[in-house]
């Protein structure tokens, strides 16, 4: 276990180094190696229709291996339904063409206080077990001269949620996207979710939730952070 801990601590963004950990060594340890979602170089060689067809065939094999009878009326359409769910819904955020255009406007009202969009729905999937992550995101920023349409913040959260995720990475991705769109460092994101891999397997804990946060710019100042957390009704720890 000590040797594994040393390996995990030594992980870098270098894919060649990360590949030295075997599946057996990683086990149930949650490893996130990069702020970018790890994608293959050929990730977009297949069309959506080709991906659906291939996933359906593979999922059919899983069902058959489990001993299910796919000639049954209730089951025969399941492989394609699952494939369409993966490609068109659950993991739609893997497609860069689906990335929302972050339209920004001049801050003509000279509103210089923080703006917060809270209780944004999160529906994602954990990349370790492909089970749902469900909860809320709270997003805040202080304008440096630009403002963003309120719905765009929801769409940015949704886009990065719709992919196999690690909550820490998701939090960072949302912050970085807003920083780029608004040309400001003053961004904060807090995410509070329940992970179905915790509630439905292993420890089967139905009460706990996972909270991650990322504070940038002025939000790293204690008084600004307290104000933000006060608005979203969370205590500063």
DSSP letter string, 20-32: TS-HHHHTT----
Catalytic residue among 158, 167, 177, 214: 167
For 198, counting Cβ atoms within 10 Å of its Cβ (0-12 exposed, 13-18 middle, 19+ buried), the class is buried
Residue 18 in tokens? 């990360």
- Banded model confidence at residue 33, pLDDT cuts 50, 70, 90: low
- Banded model confidence at residue 234, pLDDT cuts 50, 70, 90: low
Cite the beta strand spans of 22-154 per DSSP E: 104-106, 114-126, 132-142, 146-148
Task: Based on the residue annotation, tell me whether 138 is a catalytic residue of this protein.
Answer: no
| Among 192, 190, 191, CA closest to 225 | 190
Task: Based on the residue annotation, tell me whether 76 is a catalytic residue of this protein.
Answer: no
The answer to whether 211 touches 191, Cβ cutoff 8 Å, is: yes
For 129, counting Cβ atoms within 10 Å of its Cβ (0-12 exposed, 13-18 middle, 19+ buried), the class is middle
Average pLDDT over residues 33-38: 82
The answer to whether 126 touches 185, Cβ cutoff 8 Å, is: no
- Banded model confidence at residue 35, pLDDT cuts 50, 70, 90: confident
> Cα torsion at 172, 176, 178, 180 (round to 10°)?
180
- Banded model confidence at residue 162, pLDDT cuts 50, 70, 90: very high
Residue 207 is predicted with a pLDDT of 87
Check pLDDT > 80 for residue 73. yes
- More confidently predicted of 169 and 24: 169
Catalytic residue among 128, 168, 185, 227: 128
Task: Based on the residue annotation, tell me whether 110 is a catalytic residue of this protein.
Answer: no
Catalytic residue among 129, 168, 185, 227: 129
Task: Based on the residue annotation, tell me whether 128 is a catalytic residue of this protein.
Answer: yes
- Model pTM? 0.83
Residue 16 in tokens? 């060649």
Task: Based on the residue annotation, tell me whether 206 is a catalytic residue of this protein.
Answer: no
Structural domains of the chain sorted by starting position, each given as residue range(s) with its CATH number in brackets:
1-34 (no CATH), 45-90 (1.10.286.10), 104-231 (3.30.1130.10)
The answer to whether 168 touches 32, Cβ cutoff 8 Å, is: yes
What average pLDDT is seen over the chain?
88
Strand order in the sheet with 114-126: 164-165, 114-126, 132-142, 187-195, 210-215
Task: Based on the residue annotation, tell me whether 222 is a catalytic residue of this protein.
Answer: no
Task: Based on the residue annotation, tell me whether 129 is a catalytic residue of this protein.
Answer: yes
């Amino acid at each position: 276990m000590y040797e594994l801990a040393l390996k995990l601590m030594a992980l870098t963004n270098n894919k060649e180094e990360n590949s030295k950990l075997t599946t057996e060594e990683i086990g149930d340890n949650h490893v996130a190696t990069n702020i970018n979602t790890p994608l293959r170089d050929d990730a977009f060689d297949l069309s959506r229709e080709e991906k659906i067809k291939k996933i359906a065939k593979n999922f059919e094999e899983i069902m058959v291996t489990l001993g299910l009878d796919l000639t049954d009326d209730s089951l025969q359409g399941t492989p394609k339904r699952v494939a369409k769910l993966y490609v068109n819904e659950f993991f739609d955020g893997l497609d860069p063409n689906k990335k929302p255009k972050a339209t920004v406007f001049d801050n003509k009202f000279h509103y210089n206080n923080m703006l917060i969009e809270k209780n944004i729905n999160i529906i994602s999937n954990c990349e370790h077990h492909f089970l749902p992550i469900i909860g809320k995101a709270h997003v805040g920023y202080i304008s440096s001269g630009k403002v963003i349409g309120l719905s765009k913040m929801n769409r940015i959260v949704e886009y990065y949620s719709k992919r196999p995720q690690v909550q820490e990475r998701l939090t960072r991705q949302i912050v970085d996207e807003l920083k780029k769109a608004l040309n400001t460092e003053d961004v904060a994101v807090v995410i509070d979710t329940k992970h179905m891999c915790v509630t439905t397997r292993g420890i089967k804990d139905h009460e706990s939730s996972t909270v991650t946060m990322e504070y940038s710019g002025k939000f790293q100042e204690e008084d600004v952070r307290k104000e933000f957390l006060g608005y979203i009704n969370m205590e500063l720890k």
